Structure 1
């Protein structure tokens, strides 16, 4: 009996591996040699993802319920075959579906919702179901939520038989360049680039006070921009950095929070931004190069604020760095990472200088990583890295794909019923009385949606539902989409549902809620900057160069002072009123306005005088006390 169970598990593992490799190879082939027609590309991608989900996430632990998973797989395959066989006729039948169109349409949407529930939990699946119910019952609702009656024929026509619903842009993004960048990250990890990132971070920051925390900041920034998944980033780099932070004296909740904040920031870190930069370029038509330039200053300020925080926290707790013999040797680490430099160099060259498409750039960067890794380290190569990368890449697509598919249903219903336009009108009316209030509402919506979605999928959904309102209020499209994107990325460290913080707490063995609130405190600057760049475009590198440089310098001073206020330490422990003064000063300096800079400098001078003279007095008292004691 035991042998039979083990054989069954082995067969399942091989099946999962086979499907995963097929999915990754399909994405690589279409990325390098040309996409299929939109609906065919997306349906085949989604089908392979659904098969993997129903294999990896069974409906129940009991084996007797396994037949449900295999039935779901057969239905998913049947729907895909149906689309391939009837694709041309399907488009001509839009508005007048036959019974097979309706059957496979309903089945596919239900499979997507169930797969979403299994992978992401109930939140997003419930939102998708509520929007579907709304499309049918919106006619009985009053006021702004009232919509016209919806027939099944019309619903299936738009949701399943066209590229406006399930097969829309949101799934298209997941089925093309997002999938390729996930595979790109998987190849980086499989070839040891993750270890190189961490070792380089140790070399740069490990020897300074609170060294492991600085390692977490640097390594997570490097890993996060590629992976785009804060939770996955915490799970990987956090296994190394969190125990080390605890070993040098960081409190568990602080260690877990620092890693969570550092990992979350990777989603806003150019040049990849977890594929968010490419999604934004696709949605807005803004050139990719302009987006990553705009994202650079806020990302730098974010990581400077975290770095300053961990430095002052280390000084406050008198935490030391790591000994020289505990650190990696630079020469050894550097030569282990040549394939990494070649792959990332190729990616940046193709994207920024050659202005190639994201898919073309990702494909040839993957090729560059594989070829250079094999050529440079041929004798040390473990050829299992190929299957590992292809398998991990496919598994990494699951959450993003089903989240984007469900988001496509939501966006389709919003367009079909007109609720999206009405919500935009409502927000515009709200903004006429106070644009700040509209920004706050948008922020809250982004954070709530981000609780159950990865940053990229959350941004896609909110970019359609909320960004148009901000644009109608006069906010530049780049600023509006950056605002939405940033807060979609910050949900993983925002209480009460802060998944990155919870993951960090699990590794640190700290209280999840305390860790999430500490994360929000450490990452406070990220909640401030989006408001600042709405009213001051210099922080998005927009405007005269001198203005941009001045705004960046002032904001850098501001995040330094903010870290002082949040930790309550600079050369000594600060009093409560000094901390309030420091935080207020920081907010004024971060705001890109001349008058706020002047007021901020005045308050900074007052704060410096308070700290300097009380510090001097403490030293004098200490010296006098020591002199009296010696007598």
Structure 2
């Protein structure tokens, strides 16, 4: 609450944490949005942006380890890789997603003149409330342990449920009666029923695709495209995932894309885990992609905002999600370098035909990508917002977009000049861009009170 745009930052953080356990964008929006969106509006943000913050942050929860929604389990089954390796591969991309969202919120807060929350509105947690946080921390810890140390999805789910139930009974007084327990089981049954319906629908769609021969034609198209530039092939796959994902859950979109392109996927020429996560990210990001942005449509009524406008705002907030898949295709260290964690903790490096050889990527490669992506997102988010220290001119915004995209190029001879140019643009604006605007002064005054 004490940071610029603190209410929106808190909403992003809460959705990220909720996403570690939920993994469903719409349920994330409904669960946390009823609390966070009114606070964001009260702090000074416009209704559409307030709803968009929650929609974008909830969307990121679907790629947030360790749950990542049901789609991560689908990936594990499709490529024959243990679930824990997929979770570790998603750690840095998930961090990248929320880094971009935080930056957009920061610049938008400065543009709209939204400072920190007033002291009296800042949340104050009592010791009892801090203890109750264990209800979420303990099950998450148990879930993570059984997924990593003893890779068993069944054990992870069972023991996570037992610990969640026990901790709720001990720490929540309102949960210590049979009626509350009954309602919890009924709610779980309804959620399970929804998942069963989705899986059944996926089966019908996949069957139609295979019987009609549509799968073969798409696979042939992908195989033909694979003979050309990799970037063109990736664009086609990304567009397919986004279009199919407009109105479908990410799990359904993922399955349709993978089944429809099954024989052509091998021709793309990149490791299966990389390509499947590429599809996953665009299937997820479709929930905030207009014109049918399901997460934005769920958040808009809570804020009393226009759903279409909320969708466009959410897509801007989720900008990183559109770039990350291309980044980890061309910079494999993003997905694979953290796999050495298994060796550090007494295990062995994963070896699978679905992955690259971990020894081929270095910490220097990963360090470069992290720094480059952070700088690129600073440039791109400020350019799309049109504001940093003060209002950015049109030429500045165009140059920032060019530099930001150039930094992410895999060719270092293009990326290094883009880095130098991007840093120069930031320095020039900071020190030669004139005095801070009246909005900046207002924010500074709020921060000092």
Given that 2:214 and 2:260 are in contact with CA atoms closer than 8 Å, whether structure 1 keeps it comes out as no
Given that 2:226 and 2:267 are in contact with CA atoms closer than 8 Å, whether structure 1 keeps it comes out as no
> How is 1:381-530 mapped onto 2 (pairs within 5 angstroms)?
381-416=176-211, 418-466=213-261, 468-530=263-325
> How is 1:279-298 mapped onto 2 (pairs within 5 angstroms)?
279-298=74-93
Give the deviation of 1:538 after TM superposition.
2.1
| 2:133 aligned partner | 337
Give the deviation of 1:346 after TM superposition.
0.6
Given that 1:555 and 1:591 are in contact with CA atoms closer than 8 Å, whether structure 2 keeps it comes out as no
1:277–1:581 distance in 2 versus 1, CA, 3 Å: same
Give the deviation of 1:527 after TM superposition.
0.8
| 1:230 aligned partner | 25
Does residue 423 of structure 2 align to residue 602 of structure 1?
A: no
1:478-531: CA deviation from partner (whole Å, max 9, x where unpaired): 111011111111111001111111122111111111111111112112111212
- Distance, in Å, in 1 between the alignment partners of 2:171 and 2:418 is 53
1:587-619: CA deviation from partner (whole Å, max 9, x where unpaired): 222345422430222211330243034334679
Give the deviation of 1:303 after TM superposition.
0.3
- Distance, in Å, in 2 between the alignment partners of 1:586 and 1:384 is 55
1:487–1:352 distance in 2 versus 1, CA, 3 Å: same
> How is 1:565-604 mapped onto 2 (pairs within 5 angstroms)?
565-604=383-422
| 1:220 aligned partner | 15
1:309–1:431 distance in 2 versus 1, CA, 3 Å: same
| 1:352 aligned partner | 148
- Distance, in Å, in 2 between the alignment partners of 1:361 and 1:613 is 53
Given that 1:267 and 1:274 are in contact with CA atoms closer than 8 Å, whether structure 2 keeps it comes out as yes
- Distance, in Å, in 2 between the alignment partners of 1:306 and 1:499 is 18
Given that 1:442 and 1:466 are in contact with CA atoms closer than 8 Å, whether structure 2 keeps it comes out as no
Give the deviation of 1:334 after TM superposition.
1.7
- Distance, in Å, in 1 between the alignment partners of 2:118 and 2:126 is 15
> How is 1:78-477 mapped onto 2 (pairs within 5 angstroms)?
206-326=1-121, 327-329=123-125, 331-355=127-151, 357-377=152-172, 381-416=176-211, 418-466=213-261, 468-477=263-272
Structure 1 window deviating more from structure 2 (339-348 vs 422-431): it is 422-431
Structure 2 residue runs of 5 or longer lacking an equivalent are 338-360, 438-449
1:539–1:295 distance in 2 versus 1, CA, 3 Å: same
- Distance, in Å, in 2 between the alignment partners of 1:609 and 1:268 is 34
Give SS of 2:57's match.
helix
Structure 1 residue runs of 5 or longer lacking an equivalent are 1-205, 620-631
Given that 1:539 and 1:592 are in contact with CA atoms closer than 8 Å, whether structure 2 keeps it comes out as no
1:347–1:618 distance in 2 versus 1, CA, 3 Å: closer
1:161-195: CA deviation from partner (whole Å, max 9, x where unpaired): xxxxxxxxxxxxxxxxxxxxxxxxxxxxxxxxxxx
Give SS of 2:227's match.
helix
Given that 2:175 and 2:181 are in contact with CA atoms closer than 8 Å, whether structure 1 keeps it comes out as no
Structure 1 window deviating more from structure 2 (318-327 vs 520-529): it is 318-327
Give the deviation of 1:468 after TM superposition.
4.6
Give the deviation of 1:382 after TM superposition.
4.0
Give SS of 1:301's match.
helix
1:618–1:481 distance in 2 versus 1, CA, 3 Å: closer
Given that 1:297 and 1:541 are in contact with CA atoms closer than 8 Å, whether structure 2 keeps it comes out as no
TM-score, normalization: structure 2? 0.86
- Distance, in Å, in 2 between the alignment partners of 1:463 and 1:224 is 24
- Distance, in Å, in 2 between the alignment partners of 1:270 and 1:227 is 10
Give the deviation of 1:408 after TM superposition.
1.2
1:333–1:382 distance in 2 versus 1, CA, 3 Å: same
1:278-335: CA deviation from partner (whole Å, max 9, x where unpaired): 2211111122222112111111111011111111111222212223443122633321
- Quick check: which one's helix share is greater? 1
Q: How many residues align?
A: 413
Structure 1 window deviating more from structure 2 (443-452 vs 607-616): it is 607-616
Structure 1 window deviating more from structure 2 (487-496 vs 286-295): it is 286-295
- Distance, in Å, in 1 between the alignment partners of 2:306 and 2:247 is 21
> How is 1:39-58 mapped onto 2 (pairs within 5 angstroms)?
none
1:100-158: CA deviation from partner (whole Å, max 9, x where unpaired): xxxxxxxxxxxxxxxxxxxxxxxxxxxxxxxxxxxxxxxxxxxxxxxxxxxxxxxxxxx
1:433–1:593 distance in 2 versus 1, CA, 3 Å: closer
Give the deviation of 1:273 after TM superposition.
0.5
Give SS of 1:227's match.
coil
Q: Which has the larger radius of gyration?
A: 1
Give SS of 2:290's match.
coil
Structure 1 window deviating more from structure 2 (493-502 vs 366-375): it is 366-375
Relative contact order higher in (CA < 8 Å, ≥ 6 apart): 2
- Distance, in Å, in 2 between the alignment partners of 1:492 and 1:588 is 27
